[in-house]
Amino acid sequence: MPQPEPHAGPPPQAAAEAALRAGAELLLVAQPLDDAPDVRAWLDALEKGLPDAGLAGFAWRPPDAPLDIGHGVALALRVDRLDHLGPALLDARRRTIALHPDGSPAPAPAFVGGCAFLPDAPLPDHWEPFGTGTWLLPARRLTVHDDGRATLTRAWHRDGEHWTPADIHAHAIAGPHAQPLADGEDQNAFETRVRAALDAIHSGHLRKVVLARSRTVPRQRTPLAVLLLGLGARYPRCTLFAFAPGDGSLFAGVSPETLLAAHDGHIHTMALAGSAPRGTSPDEDLRHGNALLRDPKERQEHRLVVDDIRATAERHGGTLHAPPEPDLLRLHNVQHLHTPFHGTLEQPDAALDLAAALHPTPAVGGQPRDAALDWLRRTEAGARGWYAAPFGAVHAPDRLHLVVALRSALFRGDQAALFAGAGILAPSDPAREYHETRAKMDALRALLAPTEPTEP
């Protein structure tokens, strides 16, 4: 059973010679594995590290797709904005070659990473190691399919006529040592902010703003593999993600919301706004869902997102098709109004620009966008870090899969800061919005601290 490895030997000779002939600076060799890998050990290593080595890396699995786990740093792209990633990505691809052991071409793997929700706002100390935008091509990459097939991709850097294994150590991307996590915001403080947002809405300054809050809870040292695999089992329709900058902290979660998926000019996105709890019985669940579909406040919130996505796509040469009415996306503990979009992009290599323009949709930012973000800069600064920001896998400017980093937590030691948000409109009730964030946090709380009392 292949385990995570802190060191790698030389690359296969045929691949090494082919890469030298091609003039590549970075060689990636994809090797199918005969034995099933120890997925739990690979996941746990993201947080615990390896013998004599800290570890940066990631985990990534969209629904009905393989699980990708990256260890170490072959190449890290640090950009302050999502629309700045394209040029850096193209430059990296020109210097990189992906091969099979026999020297034949292999598919180029994606860079995986994310960025800050407000890249122009200062990051708190505990988010500083992640940076405003970090995208990794790992030193070792394990790809595991549902049918048990697995591939290990290793990376080597060129050193004259020889190849040196890519650095598995974390210091290549980690920033300052993260500080202890803050306690977060209680019910009174959050409801006070909701009332301030309602004042801004009633004055005509805003139509909607999404407030995020965090709460720090004991983790009880739940192994990362147990947490991530448990989330995957509870939320099979969501995308599993995790990112470790290598300083001992880790951001992870399970997102129900696709920001943008693009391939060969075909694009997919969604509006996901408007929430209600699940019922404790089929009849109660149906009543909650039907009430959500009829709720004027929730329908207004959803329509703002639908209209914004359509308008943004059209400005960037996108043609989108969607059903006329939202359906319900039912998850383990919450259900959402959901409108899926499918379409095409006139210029396929503009997909990254479109993703940057979509973020943040009114589902996580507000409306009007600039006024809402200015309000959030004053009231939240950069406190939400990577929460509700783009996270995902980018192969090229025209091939990517990005989600909105929701249902997530920042882990450090025996603590976890849980994040959730709520959309505030004129009809909003502060207590109801607080309880919506509490329900969303339950996605992670139950696995992290099963004996902790629920918030009031």
User: Domain containing 435 — which CATH number?
Assistant: 3.60.120.10
Catalytic residue among 47, 128, 185, 257: 257
Predicted confidence band at 6 (pLDDT cuts at 50, 70, 90)? low
Predicted confidence band at 281 (pLDDT cuts at 50, 70, 90)? very high
Of 172, 205, 228, the residue that ends a domain is: 172
Same domain for 241 and 128: no
Same domain for 166 and 208: no
Burial level of 367, CB count in 10 A (0-12/13-18/19+)?
buried
Same domain for 197 and 166: no
Same domain for 388 and 444: yes
How crowded is residue 431: how many other Cβ atoms within 10 Å of its Cβ? 12
Same domain for 124 and 65: yes
Within a domain: 178: no
Known catalytic residue at 5: no
For residue range 315-369, list pLDDT tens digits in order.
999 999 999 999 999 998 889 999 999 999 999 999 999 999 999 999 999 999 9
Tokens of residue 211, six digits: 């407030």
Average pLDDT of 286-291?
96
pLDDT at 282 over 60: yes
pLDDT at 105: 96
Of 172, 199, 222, the residue that ends a domain is: 172
Same domain for 191 and 167: no
Same domain for 192 and 161: no
Q: Which residues contact 341 (CB under 8 A, 6 or more apart)?
A: 267, 268, 269, 270, 271, 309, 310, 313, 320, 321, 322
Average pLDDT of 247-268?
93
Could you give the number of structural domains in the chain? 2
Tokens of residue 177, six digits: 């040592």
Average pLDDT of 398-412?
94
In this structure, are residues 255 and 404 in contact, taking their beta carbons and an 8 Å threshold?
Answer: yes
Tokens of residue 49, six digits: 């590290």
SS3 435: helix
Predicted confidence band at 122 (pLDDT cuts at 50, 70, 90)? confident
pLDDT at 177: 55
Average pLDDT of 362-380?
92
Same domain for 228 and 158: no
Predicted confidence band at 16 (pLDDT cuts at 50, 70, 90)? very high
SS3 400: strand
Within a domain: 444: yes
Within a domain: 455: no
Within a domain: 8: no
Q: Which residues contact 325 (CB under 8 A, 6 or more apart)?
A: none
Average pLDDT of 389-414?
93
Catalytic residue among 208, 298, 433, 436: 208
Same domain for 413 and 342: yes
Known catalytic residue at 161: no
pLDDT at 171: 52
Same domain for 412 and 314: yes
pLDDT at 280 over 80: yes
Burial level of 388, CB count in 10 A (0-12/13-18/19+)?
buried
pLDDT at 151: 96
Range scoring the smallest mean pLDDT among 5-9, 35-39, 205-209, 306-310: 5-9
Burial level of 33, CB count in 10 A (0-12/13-18/19+)?
middle
pLDDT at 319: 96
pLDDT at 453: 43
> Could you please report the per-residue DSSP string of 90-120?
HHHHHTEEEE-TTS-B-PPPPEEEEE-SSTT
Q: Which residues contact 211 (CB under 8 A, 6 or more apart)?
A: 190, 193, 194, 197, 379, 380, 421, 422, 424, 433
Query: Chain-wide mean pLDDT for the chain?
Result: 89
Q: Which residues contact 229 (CB under 8 A, 6 or more apart)?
A: 39, 40, 43
pLDDT at 248: 80
Of 142, 172, 202, the residue that ends a domain is: 172
Same domain for 191 and 168: no
pTM value is 0.93
Within a domain: 7: no
Per the structure, the complete domain to which residue 209 belongs is given by 187-448
Same domain for 348 and 276: yes
| Percent of the chain topping pLDDT 70 | 91
For residue range 157-193, list pLDDT tens digits in order.
999 999 999 977 655 565 555 566 777 788 999 999 9
pLDDT at 1: 46
For residue 156, give the nearest of 98, 106, 70 by alpha carbon.
98
Average pLDDT of 286-313?
94
pLDDT at 447 over 90: no
Place of tokens 């960025």: 115
pLDDT at 97 over 50: yes
